[in-house]
Structure 1
Amino acid sequence: MAFQPYTPKPVTDVFTADTDIDRRKCQRTVPMKVLALGLGRTGTASLRTALKELGYTDTYHMMSASVENPPDCLMWQDAFAAKYDGEGEFGREQWDQLLGHCQAVCDWPAVAFAQELIEAYPEAKVILTTRDVDSWHASTLKTVDWRANDPELKFVAQWDWGAGLYQPMLAKFWSVFFKNDFRKYGKSVFRDYYAELRSTVPPENLLEYKMGQGWGPLCEFLEVPVPEGKTFPHTNDTDGFVDRCRARNRAQMGNVLFRGLVMGGGLLAVALSASAALGRLGARVSSLKA
């Protein structure tokens, strides 16, 4: 659903450290320099860390919306509505609101708007992280496809603020980008997506990069020095992905339970106060009758 109003994070969300910035009130503060448009699970989390090491502040990633600032999901839903449902507009102004604090962007859901981002930021360099399609598909089935269909996340999203923003956005992205069936269409979408970008981005502005190539090709393409004494980062392994997501679910359920405890305690206090007041009133009535 698009154009949902921003609501601040509940004060009872004590088990998660999310921020609650309303991006619709933001604007661009740093230039967009890099569009890393490889699909997720091709090393995008490692690339994000590498770009930060190279001084690109900040690099947008799915984690920016899922665990860092969930209200971003509201604007992603606006973008999906504009592109896939014909509702509203989402152009350079809106991209600057959503991504204006970033010099780079990578991972999903940004890849669903690759052409729109290239049009909005024609001066930015384009990086395509890639890998063997079969290993990519197997990895994604175990991670993001699992997360997009995680029944526990769907349940928590009915009650928790952050999950309630993130889960509908993830479900929308997964549905429209992978034709409502990742298992069946994932590989063909992968091939078509990379073929389209290779045909539209000028070769001099495009770097195809595979994890394991190290700093050299990346730094040469970006025209920045190789960090001295720094190994290229490796993050977001498949096994750790599921564990982190389940821990997130538990933390968000903790928020829900704590809010229920606080609200329940408040209601109990009101009930006890009302009971005491009625008792005092009854005592006064009895004394007057006497």
Structure 2
Amino acid sequence: MAFQSYTPKPITDIFTNDTDIDRRKCHRTVPMRVLALGLGRTGTASLRTALKELGFTDTYHMMSASVENPPDCLMWQDAFAAKYDGVGTFEREQWDQLLGHCQAVCDWPAVAFAKELIEAYPDAKVILTTRDVDSWHASTMKTVDWRVNDPELRLVAQWDWGAGLYQPMLRRFWDTFFKGDFRRYGKRVFNDYYAEVRSLVPAENLLEYRMGQGWEPLCQALEVPVPKGKKFPHTNDTDGFVDRCKARNRAQMCNIAFRALVMGGGILAAVLSASVTFHRLGSRFTTIRV
């Protein structure tokens, strides 16, 4: 099932390092072992790094779609269409295509499909990262909600390949999951969501985890040894979020400018070539007449 068709990455996109993998042609290559279903801004980026350190490779995260492989957004849009619009189906086969290279998944947009992922991968351990709802809401307002409404991203998405895939998916997820108004409904959705996940997962298969608890509870739940001499990672701090997003916008703007330069140069070359040809033909015609 495919709605929006896949288009290859332009060869002129030299200012970003995105990969260009069409997941609709992929399949599962490693077992899914961990579903980390806590909402974004509860330490999911740190958890991703920690899971990689523990050998769970790869761990899917929103960054997988936003800055690593933008064509993933096509399949996320398929998943949204199936669940929320009743268009087509998105089942284990499709999840294996999208996430088949990963042993773990975390962050959004995956949380919009918590129930579906739990059903698709019943043997996976479930981790629920959480934090105080008020501090979570304040952090998310300054970061992801800002990004969703970033006018610069909207503008860049009209012209850049990667942004054009990511921004519509991000907007769809945000409006769908948070009922079109994160500021108003965010805390309510947070509480309802965590209650739903707790109701779906048997207690013996669920680890509720807060950043700061260190390696021990995580490793115990996942039945892996604690890394010796390594601090638990801390990544994706709020202070650097906006700067990283703006840097991404600038790189994509450079892609757009470079493509315009190359295309403009090609058009100019064509015009000059045509002009020279016309001039030569005109000279020959004059000579013949003389």
Q: Which interval holds the TM-score relative to the shorter structure?
A: over 0.9
Distance 1:166 1:198 in 2: 30
Question: Is 1:212 the equivalent of 2:219?
Answer: no
Find the residue that maps to 1:207 and give its secondary structure.
Answer: strand
User: One-letter code of the match for 1:218?
Assistant: L
The Cα shift of 1:84 comes to 0.6
The Cα shift of 1:3 comes to 1.1
Distance 1:99 1:196 in 2: 23
User: One-letter code of the match for 1:133?
Assistant: V
Question: Is 1:148 the equivalent of 2:144?
Answer: no
Question: Partner of 2:92 in structure 1?
Answer: 92
User: One-letter code of the match for 2:18?
Assistant: D
Find the residue that maps to 1:111 and give its secondary structure.
Answer: helix
User: One-letter code of the match for 2:146?
Assistant: W
Distance 2:241 2:77 in 1: 24
Question: Partner of 2:56 in structure 1?
Answer: 56
Question: Partner of 1:67 in structure 2?
Answer: 67
The Cα shift of 1:206 comes to 0.1
Distance 1:86 1:198 in 2: 26
Distance 2:202 2:181 in 1: 32
Distance 1:217 1:68 in 2: 30
Q: Which runs of 4+ in 1 moved over 2 A?
A: none
Question: Partner of 2:184 in structure 1?
Answer: 184
The Cα shift of 1:65 comes to 0.1
The Cα shift of 1:200 comes to 1.6
The Cα shift of 1:70 comes to 0.1
Distance 1:234 1:105 in 2: 18
Distance 1:267 1:27 in 2: 42
User: One-letter code of the match for 1:33?
Assistant: R
Question: Partner of 1:29 in structure 2?
Answer: 29
Question: Is 1:237 the equivalent of 2:240?
Answer: no
Residues 214-257 of structure 1: CA deviation (Å, up to 9, x unaligned): 00000000000000111000000001110000000000000000
Question: Partner of 2:252 in structure 1?
Answer: 252
Gaps of at least 5 residues in structure 2 are none
Question: Partner of 1:83 in structure 2?
Answer: 83
Residues 19-69 of structure 1: CA deviation (Å, up to 9, x unaligned): 000000000000000000000000000000000000001000000000000
Distance 2:199 2:25 in 1: 36
Residues 240-275 of structure 1: CA deviation (Å, up to 9, x unaligned): 110000000000000000000000000000000000
Distance 1:228 1:112 in 2: 35
The Cα shift of 1:199 comes to 1.4
Distance 1:81 1:196 in 2: 22
Question: Partner of 2:280 in structure 1?
Answer: 280
**Structure 1 length as normaliser, TM-score?**
0.99
User: One-letter code of the match for 1:114?
Assistant: A
Question: Is 1:197 the equivalent of 2:197?
Answer: yes
Distance 1:188 1:93 in 2: 33
Find the residue that maps to 1:127 and give its secondary structure.
Answer: strand
**Structure 2 length as normaliser, TM-score?**
0.99
Question: Partner of 1:222 in structure 2?
Answer: 222
User: One-letter code of the match for 2:256?
Assistant: V
RMSD: 0.5
1:9-20 correspondence to structure 2 within 5 Å: 9-20=9-20
Question: Partner of 1:270 in structure 2?
Answer: 270
